[in-house]
Copies of this chain bind each other. A is one copy, B any other.
Amino acid sequence: MDLSQRGQWMPASPIRRLTPLADAAKARGTQVYHLNIGQPDIPTPPEMLDAIRNFQSQVLAYGPSAGLPETRAAMAGYLQGLGWSVAARDVLVTEGGSEAILFAMIAICDPGDEIVVFEPFYTNYSGFACMCGVTLKAVETRVEDGYHLPAREVIEAVIGPRTRAILYSSPGNPTGTVFTPAEVRLLVDLAVQHDLFVIGDEAYREFAYDGLTATGVLGVAAQADALDRAILIDSISKRFSACGARIGFLVTRNEAVLDAALRFGQARLCPPTLEQYAAIAGYGLIQKYVPPMVDEYRRRRDTVMAGLRRIPGAVCAVPEGAFYVQPRLPVGDADAFAQYLLNEFALDGRTVMVAPGNGFYATPGKGKEEIRIAYVLKEDDLLVAMDLLVHAVDVWNARRPA
């Protein structure tokens, strides 16, 4: 009657596991500003919701396992617009980017196989790895370097005989780091040299600031004549503020990988039907919708950074993209601090919820002094939330033994 080992070992999400504490705080009447989860407050394009409302069929039926042809075509057209050679048949629609990660992992890894990741990394990579028996081999990146990649040899040191892939997100969650073309090329070159796949999670592609452009894995792999090694993970969740739609994409020119992913997809029948129509509407709006949204996030980033600079001893490079920042705070145990924020702290009946940084590491003990902030609130709310955070660090440090 025991759980499986993976059932026991499966980590609770560091983004969501403190939710019961937040609920309790709300039950006490405390207003909680959520900086813990990447749930944007930006309206979803109304045209996307209209596309769902305009669904005409009387039957909400299964779609094809690979996604609706027109949805795959819309995604392929969007990627072609970025200069990449992608056809509709190279695109598998998934239940969120989450499922694309899972399918990529199990298409190429058996239990005991390894995937290289860069700490801190998107926390759910750990979850999917646990679910499917894959071991993550973590390469450290440092807040002092803006979480950019270390030297080639440092990465090569973790590659072994069971290593099957390199997995990274850029623009990065939780780091906000946008890898340079040279960095993405390094990862592709390492894949070629060590006979690996390279999985680029580009859910935040457009979220790059200060004139930067995110470098795509498909473009770099094409230049390196290594397209068959590249797997792209993508999603409409952030690009169109449509996280609840659960529409993602796995894109690859490797026919065997795509075929395996499709067979996994057949087992779960199909992704949600209605939201695929929303996705089509979204990709028709991208030029109109996305740039102002990215401007808004850039302003929010600046607000968060201004707040963090008011915390003596906080360490944080200016994030270049996505809508996260993972600062090191002078709070000793950031997990305990995050719980304190919900359990005890309140200023004028308000507090703030953050994600403890250790959940974004595979290596025990790392990230202990870090938190992840998702800057997904309106400017005014974000100003309040950062004031609360700055104040809370003060109170916390005044209370704890030196």
Contact = CB atoms under 8 A, between A and B. Distances in A.
Interface of A: 1, 3-8, 10-13, 15-17, 19, 37, 39-44, 46, 48-49, 52-53, 55, 58-65, 95-96, 98-99, 102, 106-111, 113, 124, 127-128, 131-133, 164, 195, 197, 228-229, 241-246, 256-257, 260, 263-264, 266-275, 278
B263 A12 contact: yes
Nearest to A16: B266
B107 A7 contact: yes
Contacts of A61: 39, 243-244
Contacts of A274: 52, 244-245, 274-275
Contacts of A124: 266-269
Contacts of A44: 58-60
A263 B10 contact: yes
A82 to B, nearest CB: 24
Nearest to A53: B53
Q: List the number of copies, as a whole number.
A: 2
B244 A4 contact: no
A40 B52 contact: no
Contacts of A59: 40-44, 241
A395 to B, nearest CB: 30
Contacts of A49: 55, 60
Contacts of A1: 195, 197, 228-229
Nearest to A270: B244
Nearest to A95: B95
A65 B3 contact: no
B243 A272 contact: no
A336 B182 CA distance: 53
B107 A3 contact: yes
A143 to B, nearest CB: 25
Contact of A245 (B40, B256, B272): B272
Given A52-B52, A110-B4, A131 B13 contact: no
Contact of A127 (B15, B55, B245, B263): B263
A190 to B, nearest CB: 14
Contacts of A43: 58-59
A3 B264 contact: no
Contact of A107 (B4, B106, B109): B4
A60 B244 contact: yes
Nearest to A242: B60
B4 A128 contact: no
B62 A6 contact: no
Contacts of A95: 95, 246, 268, 272
A5 B39 contact: no
A25 B113 CA distance: 42
